[in-house]
Amino acid sequence: MFTPATAQSTRTKNSDTAQSTESSKDAEARTPDAADAKSAIQLFEEADNYARRKFEAFEKLKMPYDDQLKQKIEREQRDLAARNAATLAARKLSSNDVYYLGLLYNLAGKFDGAFDAMKRFLDENPNANGEPAQNARAIVVIQAAKKGLLSEAETRLRDYANNQPQVADDRYSLENWLTVGYFNSKDYERALTHAAQMWNAAKLAAKDKPVFARDLMLNDAAVTLSEIDLKLKKKDEAIAATQELRKLALALPSGNLYKLALRRLIQIDPAIDPFKNVEQLTPSTVAAPDITATEWIDSQPTKLADLRGQVVLLDFWATWCGPCRATLPRLEKWYESYKDKGLVVIGLTTFEGHADGKQLTRAQELNYLRDFKKKFSLRYGFAISDARGNDLNYSVSSIPTTFLIDRRGVVRFISIGASDFEGAALGKMIKKLIEEPAANPRATANSDA
């Protein structure tokens, strides 16, 4: 059912060899004698740097290149790696040479050769440490798992986990390979152990990814974990794993991930009420990211930090969005009901350059938005931005998406879409947050977390 997230670890370079010793001549032009004169590390660097040097040359000459050319150069790189591996394999090799042979086979896509070379390197160097040893372990884990040699993969992964350096992306990939292997062999208990480690690695690896790639990684890990729970007849644990994903979506915050978590909850139990006890989800301590806008309508420019002590509703919407328009009356109703009790509503949208099928200047679009507010009798403020920065900061993948922020500045609820079900849950949470006491200045969220 499951397939690994990545096909191969990307950690293939020795930390001591960042600078290449390769000559500037094209690899295709070198003679066999020149290849024979190169050391193992030079043979690897020549192949490893091949594509990068080609693309840098294109950039320098301002030459365009497309996917077809990119694929051609990558094939050339693999071919060069295979030739250099054959050159190196014909020699009597030291242990370190065997390591570079494994890297060359790996780069060439000759994974059986990579597996054998790296296994030999580790067997001949049982006390190996540092990046080369970790690279070798990673390659062996992946290839052993692909071959169904799960005991071998398990041993090497344990060694990887007990040594440094580690890269969270690699740890995620390695745990995923073991999870898939055990899942496909129906050993769900062992699969669960690695799925839990995969989830932990995902939370670390996701921090440095673009928002939607981050969300995809986190969702894949949580879905895998919950699916194995279901195979083990642990439905409550499956739901708990998905609720943890939901809490993480609130903390980030991510409307996209929150939507994926809700979808998974309903997949696990179609009869579940996804909003039951939602107010009991443990609040984050991380402040919501600030919003940016170039124009404000019926509101002074403001920062979220200046609104601490009030409940803030951020509504991501657009005039062309039918479901967005359907939510406007209830937003206005909540604003009128609670504005004197501390509710601030901000409608966040983006300059589009057009409306109702007509191209508009900036001034014309501002007038259109002002008229729109009057037409729908909306008294709360609009914030209009030039770019999609707010959408990225809040990982908004569809509209309307609404974020409800408590008096401490923390996102406590996310509403996706325009259904009455969503509206009722959002209304309930607004009432709860309004009734919560004003924040103690010392207890406000940490904007630096």
Alpha-carbon gap, residue 139 to 143, rounded angstroms: 6
Give the tens place of pLDDT for each residue, 398-420: 999 999 999 999 999 999 999 99
* Amino acid sitting at position 145: A
Q: For residue 372, is it within any domain?
A: yes
CATH code for position 401: 3.40.30.10
Give the tens place of pLDDT for each residue, 330-355: 999 999 999 999 999 999 999 999 99
Alpha-carbon gap, residue 266 to 270, rounded angstroms: 5
Last residue of a domain, one of 166, 187, 208: 166
Alpha-carbon gap, residue 180 to 1, rounded angstroms: 8
CB 405 within 8 A of CB 336: no
Q: For residue 395, is it within any domain?
A: yes
Q: Which domain holds residue 409?
A: 295-443
Q: For residue 84, is it within any domain?
A: yes
386 or 281: which leads in pLDDT: 386
Q: For residue 196, is it within any domain?
A: no
Q: Phi/psi of residue 344, each to 5°?
A: -115, 125
* Amino acid sitting at position 329: P
When divided into structural domains, the chain yields a total of 2
Last residue of a domain, one of 166, 185, 212: 166
Mean pLDDT for all residues in the chain: 91
Q: For residue 387, is it within any domain?
A: yes
Q: For residue 205, is it within any domain?
A: no
Q: What is the pLDDT of residue 397?
A: 97
Residue 16 and residue 157 in one domain: yes
Q: For residue 310, is it within any domain?
A: yes
CATH code for position 67: 1.25.40
Q: For residue 256, is it within any domain?
A: no
Res 443 pLDDT > 80 = no
Per-residue pLDDT, averaged over 294-302, amounts to: 96
Last residue of a domain, one of 117, 140, 166: 166
Question: What's the pTM?
Answer: 0.88
